[in-house]
Amino acid sequence: MICGMKLAFRCPRCEKLGHALPTAETPQLTCVHCQATWEVPQEVVEENTVTECLVCQSKDLFVRKDFPQRLGVLLVVIGLIASCYAWYRHQLFLTFGILFTTAAIDVILYLLVPDALVCYRCGAHYRRCKLRHHEGFSLETHERYRQELARQKQDNARAGGGRPPQVSETD
């Protein structure tokens, strides 16, 4: 049983964002936008964790902080700009106070924000699950999946007469 696990995924068919609360009683996922369904292999689910992605069946998953990266970068940039302004005004203690405060906020967020499990292939996010079998981000694995996606897009463009397929709003 997957108690409390939350799954955020992009539907493979319509590519819209969907959410699910997978349990042992619901052996399939359904997109609320296009009503597409796919089976969830129950052997990949064990004690509130997954061994492979429930959306694309990839075994390559990684652990990361469940925090928006853009917000983290924005906090660092604000701290940098504020400290540069204080440095420009020749306020040395304020400059270092801003830098240390920014670093302290970063450490506090790191300690308070929980981890999430993310699929390299489809980007599905698993929240509130155990992460014992998985490791952190690997640039090599990420690059392998990025290259795979680029080859698929190139093959699709060749099959469609040399141009990438056009997607309309009505599809």
Q: Is residue 164 part of a domain?
A: no
| Nearest by Cα to 98 from 75, 129, 115 | 75
| Nearest by Cα to 125 from 40, 27, 17 | 17
Same domain for 17 and 94? no
Q: What Rg, from alpha-carbon coordinates, does the chain have?
A: 21
User: What is the tally of structural domains in the chain?
Assistant: 2
pTM, full prediction: 0.73
Domain that holds residue 52: 6-66+116-158
Same domain for 10 and 40? yes
The DSSP bridge pattern shows strands 135-136 and 61-65 to be: parallel
| Nearest by Cα to 48 from 29, 21, 9 | 21
- Tell me the mean pLDDT in the region 136-154: 90
Same domain for 36 and 74? no
Same domain for 103 and 120? no
Same domain for 58 and 122? yes
Q: Is residue 82 part of a domain?
A: yes
User: Over the stretch 119-131, which tens digit does the pLDDT of each residue have?
Assistant: 999 888 988 887 7
Residue 24's pLDDT is 60
User: Over the stretch 43-82, which tens digit does the pLDDT of each residue have?
Assistant: 666 666 778 888 888 889 999 999 998 999 999 999 999 9
| Residue 23 predicted with pLDDT over 70 | no
